[in-house]
Amino acid sequence: MDNLDSSPLITVSEAAFGYAHQPILSGVNLTIHAGEFMGLIGPNGAGKSTLFKGLLTLIPPLSGVVTHAPQLLRRIGYVPQRDTLDPIYPLTAWDVVRMGCEGPLPWYQNMGLEGKKTIQACLEKVGMQDFSDHPFAQLSGGQRQRVLMARALAADPLLLVLDEPTAGIDPVAEESILKLLSQLHADKKLTILMVSHHIHSLRRCVERVLVVNKGGIQLGLASDLLAPERITALLEGVL
């Protein structure tokens, strides 16, 4: 796989992650290479969120080392689950994407021309340019997810991290989101880490998959680890 010959963006060596000096995951060795599409899966309570935070250095390792490539500094785009952005705020799609611009300005301060061009370009990348003035709260689930992706892209990321991007949306919207991610990966060579419970989505899109379970991780090619003949065993052990 050519992408694995690319330079590493994140390297984890013999790391343990947890809280209050109590490890949840240990013996973690992992490298995320520039340009690859990796999936992350695991049952609730297995440490998936803990690993997620550890990889992004939101929590320090209890032991071992997590190293980010220098060029990754301030170049990580994060797409949360859509329900984590409270819809009561009177924000338009444009306003949400504006949050992703580096060094966000106060809401009352006008953006420069370049900033406006960036927002417009990001909305166009996700097919939401015709909804820029629409209230975010009134958009469909799939449309909200696209807007959140545009917000992440506004930071010009080297790494795009998505937390359950297809959770709670209909199959048509899910298909649209997965197609968009595949296009971003193929066309922009964007490195993507996607957390998901959807086996079929991971098998279709990602190159490697990281399974979190029983205090450790299992890493392998998606074509191998998520092969149909191994799905039953994987489901029994993970989901």
Q: How many Cβ atoms from other residues are within 10 Å of residue 108's Cβ? A: 5
The pLDDT assigned to 231 comes to 64
What is the rounded CA–CA span in Å between residue 163 and residue 169? Answer: 14
pLDDT score at 1: 39
CATH number for region 1-75+159-239: 3.40.50.300
Every domain of the chain and the residues it spans = 1-75+159-239, 86-157
Which whole number is the average pLDDT over 63-85? 86
pLDDT at 134: 95
- Once rounded to an integer, what is the mean pLDDT over residues 30-52? 89
At residue 34, φ and ψ (nearest 5 deg) are: -60, 130
Give ∠ CA 56-4-154 in degrees, rounded to 5: 45
Q: Which of 224, 233, 192 is nearest to 40 (CA)?
A: 192
Question: pTM for this one?
Answer: 0.84
Average pLDDT, whole number, for the chain?
Answer: 85
**86, pLDDT greater than 70:** no
Task: Evaluate whether 36 touches 228 at the Cβ level (below 8 Å).
Answer: no
Over the stretch 119-131, which tens digit does the pLDDT of each residue have?
A: 999 999 999 999 9
Full strand arrangement of the beta sheet holding 208-213? 76-79, 159-163, 191-195, 37-41, 208-213, 216-221
The amino acid at residue 61 is: P
- pLDDT score for 3: 42
Q: Rounded distance, CA 128 to CA 76, Å?
A: 22
Comparing 81 with 9, which gets the higher pLDDT?
9
CB distance 156 to 75 below 8 Å: yes
How many C-beta atoms surround the C-beta of residue 37 within 10 A?
22
Let me know: does 17 contact 50? Beta carbons within 8 Å: yes
CB burial of 53-82 (b: ≥16 within 10 Å; e: otherwise) equals ebbbeebebbebebebbeebeebbbbbbbb
